[in-house]
Chain A
Amino acid sequence: MFEGLQRVWETFFNLDLIGQTLPTLLRVGLPNTLLLAVLASVIGVVVGVVIAAGLMSSKVAVRLPCRMYVDVLRGLPHILTVYLVGQGLPLAGITLFGESTYGYAALAIGLLEGAYMAEIFRAGFQSVEKGQTEAARGLGLSHLETLRFVVFPTGARRVLPPLTGQFILVIKGTALVYLLGLTAGQREMFAIAQDTAIVNASLSPLVAAGLLFLAITVPLTYAVNAWERRLRDGRKDAPTGSATDSATDSATDMDRALAHQGTG
């Protein structure tokens, strides 16, 4: 009985092992996790804006490929996309980043995130009231000026909270790059934890990594929620929430997707 409990404890909460892993996690894993998340998000934002613009195009020839991009990348298991892009590109001789797995990893997650972010941008910008556009056009501003000076400033503010929410998902998503095989210095938190876990036949390092992930994601999640609440209820000129709602939906989708694919 006691032995059994001890075994459970040793498997998950071997304090020595956690203590041993933590310095590497903090020194190597955490910066890599954050750097990957930022790189992937930057790629994701750029891809997302372009695709979102395409989704809102009046031309079918533009809209259709963008819609397909979003549907395909949101419809595939993330693990599949990460393999296809991260391993596939260098294998196919498309060596954009030379030998650096890091670049392919960021690109793979970035392309993936771009699909989700495109929907966030589209929802955010389409939530800008028609009256805003009409007022601007009525004053004589051109279509582009209206987008730039009226739709964008409002849309961008509505998009920021769900975009930050998506960033949290990217942080978690970086664990997937473990699949691509990183060199020792490139490993993010999950990779370090997993490697250490295998060597020591104990999952405690993974628990340590998990705690670090939680230390980042949970406070951020609460901050985003508070931010969205403030936007929704706080001020008279705040958005009515359609953007935030649908964006949160897409974020939830991804949450579920990540959960399902059971990383590691």
Chain B
Amino acid sequence: MTTQTTSQAPTTHGTPVTFDHVNKRFGRTRVLHDICLEVPGGQTTCVVGPSGSGKSTLLRCTNRLEEPDEGRVLLGDTDVTDRSADIDAVRARIGMVFQTFNLFPYRTALDNITLALRRVRKLPADEAAERARTHLASVGLAGLEHRRPGQLSGGQQQRVAIARALAMEPEVMLFDEATSALDPELVKGVLSIMRDLAGQGMTMIVVTHEMRFAQEAAGQVVFLDHGRLIEKAAPDKFFGAPESPRLQAFLSAVT
């Protein structure tokens, strides 16, 4: 992996993310209930919980794909939720990987990556292409740069999506159930890339159902249920000695 050489040294002082009393409603349903969470820089924080627990919404509040009704989200010292903040500039500091890949269908793998490099990072075409190639190679897709998403497998598409996010040299990476839409045999490759990233000291927030990944790669694991943060602990304790009955029930159901 040559990916991270460009962004930050593999130390543990990456950019932290802070959720400060975040509330969010969809109509009358309260999806996030006064969430306070410290995501330490340079670490992976895994968010688990049943579907509908608000974990994706929480993740999407980080780059304001969802707007919190109350509370603040901080990226380092930047208040993401500040209405006067340049949200495009904030988003460019945060990489996001979606469950459904969301590659641009009529662009090649390479063009998927170069688009934001050119438009947002203002790189010249050749430099953008060079960087895109490097990142494609680092996710094991060298030589497939001229394929369109429709000509790639789900696992390959997700790896392009990861390369697209990483090429922007983000300070934080968000993964929203990145392996949930993949065939089982393709999950492994994507997870191993994520594990490598975690090992390199990238700040990551990972919404996932992959408990083994959480156990092995996370610095802390967070359990959400019905929009409330129920429990937060280091993986050993989270999986070995869960405190709340709800987490105990959840864990016994999924493992």
In whole angstroms, what is the CA distance A134 to B151 when docked?
Answer: 22
Contacts of B103 in A (CB 8 A): 135
Indicate the member of A138, A139, A141, A153 with the most B CB atoms within 10 Å.
A139
The tally of CB-CB contacts under 8 A between chains A and B is: 70
Are the C-beta atoms of B102 and A140 separated by less than 8 Å?
no
Indicate the member of A131, A137, A138, A236 with the most B CB atoms within 10 Å.
A138
For A235, the closest partner residue in chain B by CB is B150
Question: Which chain A residues in 222-240 approach chain B with CB under 8 Å?
Answer: 235-238
Interface-side segment among B19-27, B114-122, B193-201? B114-122
Contacts of B119 in A (CB 8 A): 141, 145, 149
Are the C-beta atoms of A140 and B98 separated by less than 8 Å?
no
B100 within 8 A of A: yes
In whole angstroms, what is the CA distance A140 to B103 when docked?
Answer: 15
Are the C-beta atoms of B92 and A135 separated by less than 8 Å?
no
**Contacts A235-B150, A237-B150 hold; do A138 and B105 have CB atoms under 8 A apart?**
no
B178 within 8 A of A: no
In whole angstroms, what is the CA distance A132 to B106 when docked?
Answer: 11
Are the C-beta atoms of B96 and A138 separated by less than 8 Å?
yes
A154 within 8 A of B: yes
Are the C-beta atoms of B104 and A138 separated by less than 8 Å?
no
In whole angstroms, what is the CA distance A208 to B141 when docked?
Answer: 60
A150 within 8 A of B: yes
**Contacts A132-B102, A150-B104 hold; do A139 and B164 have CB atoms under 8 A apart?**
yes
Are the C-beta atoms of A237 and B106 separated by less than 8 Å?
yes
In whole angstroms, what is the CA distance A191 to B148 when docked?
Answer: 49
Are the C-beta atoms of A134 and B116 separated by less than 8 Å?
no
Are the C-beta atoms of B150 and A236 separated by less than 8 Å?
yes
Question: Which chain A residues in 112-170 approach chain B with CB under 8 Å?
Answer: 129, 131-132, 134-142, 145, 149-150, 153-154, 157
In whole angstroms, what is the CA distance A216 to B30 when docked?
Answer: 58
For A149, the closest partner residue in chain B by CB is B115
Are the C-beta atoms of B65 and A131 separated by less than 8 Å?
no
One of B105, B106, B149, B168 near A139 (C-beta < 8 A):
B168
> A166 CB to closest chain B CB, in angstroms?
22
For B103, the closest partner residue in chain A by CB is A135
In whole angstroms, what is the CA distance A238 to B81 when docked?
Answer: 36
For B88, the closest partner residue in chain A by CB is A140
In whole angstroms, what is the CA distance A182 to B168 when docked?
Answer: 61
Contacts of B115 in A (CB 8 A): 136, 139, 141, 149-150
Contacts of A142 in B (CB 8 A): 88
For B154, the closest partner residue in chain A by CB is A236
> A61 CB to closest chain B CB, in angstroms?
23
In whole angstroms, what is the CA distance A186 to B94 when docked?
Answer: 61
In whole angstroms, what is the CA distance A134 to B120 when docked?
Answer: 15
For A145, the closest partner residue in chain B by CB is B119
Indicate the member of B91, B98, B165 with the most A CB atoms within 10 Å.
B91
One of A129, A131, A134, A153 near B106 (C-beta < 8 A):
A153
In whole angstroms, what is the CA distance A139 to B88 when docked?
Answer: 8
Question: Which chain B residues in 78-127 approach chain A with CB under 8 Å?
Answer: 88-89, 91-92, 94, 96, 98, 100, 102-107, 115-116, 119-120
Contacts of B149 in A (CB 8 A): 236-237
In whole angstroms, what is the CA distance A141 to B120 when docked?
Answer: 6
Are the C-beta atoms of B116 and A141 separated by less than 8 Å?
yes
B208 within 8 A of A: no
For B174, the closest partner residue in chain A by CB is A138
B18 within 8 A of A: no
B43 within 8 A of A: no
Indicate the member of A129, A150, A237 with the most B CB atoms within 10 Å.
A237
In whole angstroms, what is the CA distance A149 to B120 when docked?
Answer: 12
In whole angstroms, what is the CA distance A206 to B140 when docked?
Answer: 66
In whole angstroms, what is the CA distance A150 to B164 when docked?
Answer: 15
One of B89, B104, B116, B150 near A154 (C-beta < 8 A):
B104
Sample (27) of A-B pairs whose CB atoms are under 8 Å apart: A129-B102, A131-B100, A132-B102, A132-B104, A132-B105, A135-B98, A135-B103, A135-B104, A135-B161, A138-B65, A138-B91, A139-B91, A139-B115, A140-B89, A140-B116, A140-B120, A140-B168, A141-B119, A142-B88, A153-B104, A153-B107, A154-B105, A236-B150, A236-B151, A237-B105, A237-B106, A237-B149
Excluding A139-B92, A140-B116, A142-B88, 16 further A-B contacts by CB distance (< 8 Å) are A131-B98, A135-B96, A135-B98, A136-B116, A137-B91, A139-B115, A139-B116, A139-B164, A140-B89, A140-B92, A140-B120, A141-B116, A141-B119, A141-B120, A149-B119, A150-B115
